[in-house]
């Protein structure tokens, strides 16, 4: 059965272009022009991945609201923001909400299709992976193929970027990892210290959700972060 991709985009031409390009890759596409249309569609069934513009009509933060709604229903659902809003504060807001990726317009349709395929492969691997193959660091287990982490036997749903940053952090437990090294793990061209701090805050929250006493991620003021065994 074809994977279902939801596209929420108020520009009719862009919506049509995205739909055509993604459909040609064998996906079933459900396209919506507004937040209201998308919510009605999600009531009938959730997609396997959602692509959201942030500004929809007169609603300047509609995409953020949709992201909250989707992840409240399905916390592991891959969400991509595809938007002209590229200010750092917007990127940080998207990451804090739990989006897997934040892509600027205009975008290559081939690249968009590849990002979709990549995120779906990761999500599928998470559902089928054998945790016995994961690398163990104390109570933390990391599966590099599925980009899957678990803490004390409980799965933690990290985005691809969050997982890569965590993997960098735990490569040498007890040693400080610089902001620059963590920036490289994001695989993005322009990343600030504030963006790294936001990612780390999100990672901490996900660990603390299953273990309120979690304290392995330590901040190294002005330099970066360190993984400390508990």
Give me 230's structure tokens: 């508990």
Q: Is pLDDT above 90 for 54?
A: yes
> Mean pLDDT of all residues in the chain?
89
What is the domain partition of the chain in residue ranges?
A: 4-125, 130-227
Q: Is pLDDT above 60 for 122?
A: yes
Q: Tell me the CATH architecture of domain 130-227.
A: Orthogonal Bundle (1.10)
Buried b (16+ CB within 10 A) or exposed e, 114-141: ebbbebbebbeebeebeeeebeebebbb
This prediction has a pTM of 0.67
At residue 23 the predicted structure's pLDDT band, cuts being 50, 70 and 90, is very high
Kindly state the percentage of the chain with pLDDT values over 70.
94
**Residue 160 confidence (pLDDT):** 81
Closest by CA position to 149, among listed 138, 158, 137, 139: 158
CATH fold group of domain 4-125: Rossmann fold (3.40.50)
């Amino acid at each position: 059965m074809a994977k279902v991709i939801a596209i929420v985009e108020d520009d009719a031409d862009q919506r049509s272009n995205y739909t055509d390009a993604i459909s040609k890759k064998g996906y079933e596409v459900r396209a919506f022009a507004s937040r209201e249309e998308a919510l009605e569609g999600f009531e009938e069934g959730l997609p396997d991945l959602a692509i959201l513009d942030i500004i929809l009509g007169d609603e300047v933060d509609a995409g953020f609201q949709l992201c909250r709604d989707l992840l409240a229903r399905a916390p592991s659902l891959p969400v991509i923001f595809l938007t002209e809003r590229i200010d750092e504060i917007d990127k940080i807001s998207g990451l804090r909400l739990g989006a897997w990726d934040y892509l600027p317009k205009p975008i290559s349709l081939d690249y968009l299709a590849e990002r979709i395929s990549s995120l779906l492969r990761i999500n599928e691997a998470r559902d089928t992976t054998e945790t016995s193959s994961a690398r163990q660091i104390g109570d933390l287990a990391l599966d590099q193929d599925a980009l899957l982490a678990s803490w004390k036997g409980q799965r933690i749903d990290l985005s691809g970027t969050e997982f890569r940053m965590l993997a960098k952090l735990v490569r040498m437990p007890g040693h400080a990892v610089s902001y620059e090294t963590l920036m490289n793990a994001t695989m993005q061209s322009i990343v600030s210290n504030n963006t790294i701090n936001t990612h780390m805050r999100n990672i901490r929250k996900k660990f603390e959700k299953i273990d309120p006493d979690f304290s392995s991620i330590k901040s190294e003021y002005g330099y970066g972060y360190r993984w400390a065994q508990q």
